[in-house]
């Protein structure tokens, strides 16, 4: 039976107890609405460590659109079922007030890579991401923390932040999990209507085509996407597009 912990002090104590005898702790931070992509992270954390924990926290500080925050799916009961079936020992499920006791006066800012791509299109997004990740890592002090490679820019920034602040946690990137037609799994996919869902796999196929970013942008627009960006960076081709009100991101290795 998974242990659900809401208190920060209680979570700190639980983590200390798990690692006090030299055992390793794997940690998967999430915002809930868990799917098979999250499950791959959870199972890896379980298999590579003596203990495994996860968090569910829909982080308000990483949203620049209040409506987007409001519409994020909350599926707590189903999430707990997945966590239990994946063998996770504890779930950290804090309140907004406990995570931000001084509101948002103190935050982490990275002033180079975070201003590109997602950062250029989502004002303040990575300040919120890095701030919440740092808080969660300081609370849990895990041996390893697991992040999906679909959010490649986020993975790079978190990895480098951990190095910059001399944290002992190892940041593990896990491959993107996809539908059979290539669409990257995302909690946002539920917002695609049937026609959009038919178009959506073209995003990955075009990014994987080997064409130059300018040509990929043209092909995506012709397929019905509104394109935020397609760029080569960090050994990847990264893209962000919109289908109606739904925003999708993806990346493939060069």
Rounded distance between C-alpha atoms, residue 124 and residue 110, angstroms: 10
- DSSP 3-state helix, strand, coil percentages of the chain (rounded to 5)? 45, 20, 35
Q: Which residue has the tokens 């460590």?
A: 49
Rounded distance between C-alpha atoms, residue 128 and residue 124, angstroms: 7
Rounded distance between C-alpha atoms, residue 86 and residue 107, angstroms: 33
Q: 36, 44 in Cβ contact below 8 A?
A: no
Q: Which residue has the tokens 């820019």?
A: 153
Rounded distance between C-alpha atoms, residue 250 and residue 11, angstroms: 33
Rounded distance between C-alpha atoms, residue 28 and residue 163, angstroms: 18
Pick the catalytic residue: 35, 38, 191, 204? Answer: 38
Q: 221, 230 in Cβ contact below 8 A?
A: no
Rounded distance between C-alpha atoms, residue 24 and residue 201, angstroms: 38
Q: 77, 35 in Cβ contact below 8 A?
A: no
Question: Is 38 part of the annotated catalytic residue set?
Answer: yes
* Residue 6 phi, psi (nearest 5): -105, -25
Active-site positions read 38
């Amino acid at each position: 039976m998974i242990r659900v912990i809401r208190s920060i002090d209680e979570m700190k104590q639980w983590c200390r107890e798990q690692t006090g005898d030299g055992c390793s702790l794997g940690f998967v931070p999430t915002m809930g609405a868990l799917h098979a992509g999250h499950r791959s992270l959870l199972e890896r954390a379980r298999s590579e460590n003596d203990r495994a924990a996860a968090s569910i926290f829909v982080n308000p500080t990483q949203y620049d659109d209040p409506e987007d925050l409001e519409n994020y799916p909350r599926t707590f009961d189903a999430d707990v079922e997945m966590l239990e079936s994946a063998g996770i020992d504890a779930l950290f499920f804090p309140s907004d007030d406990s995570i931000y006791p001084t509101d948002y006066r103190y935050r982490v800012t990275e002033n180079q890579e975070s201003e590109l791509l997602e950062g250029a299109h989502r004002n303040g997004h990575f300040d919120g991401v890095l701030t919440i990740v740092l808080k969660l890592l300081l609370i849990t002090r895990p041996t390893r923390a697991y992040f999906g490679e679909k959010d490649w820019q986020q993975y790079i920034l978190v990895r480098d932040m951990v190095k910059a602040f001399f944290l002992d946690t190892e940041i593990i990137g896990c491959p993107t999990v996809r539908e059979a037609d290539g669409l990257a799994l995302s909690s946002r996919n539920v917002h695609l209507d049937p026609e959009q869902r038919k178009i959506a796999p073209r995003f990955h196929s075009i990014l994987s085509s080997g064409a130059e970013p300018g040509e990929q942008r043209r092909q995506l627009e012709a397929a019905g996407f509104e394109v935020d960006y397609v760029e080569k960076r960090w050994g990847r081709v990264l893209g962000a597009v919109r289908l109606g009100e739904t925003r999708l991101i993806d990346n493939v290795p060069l």
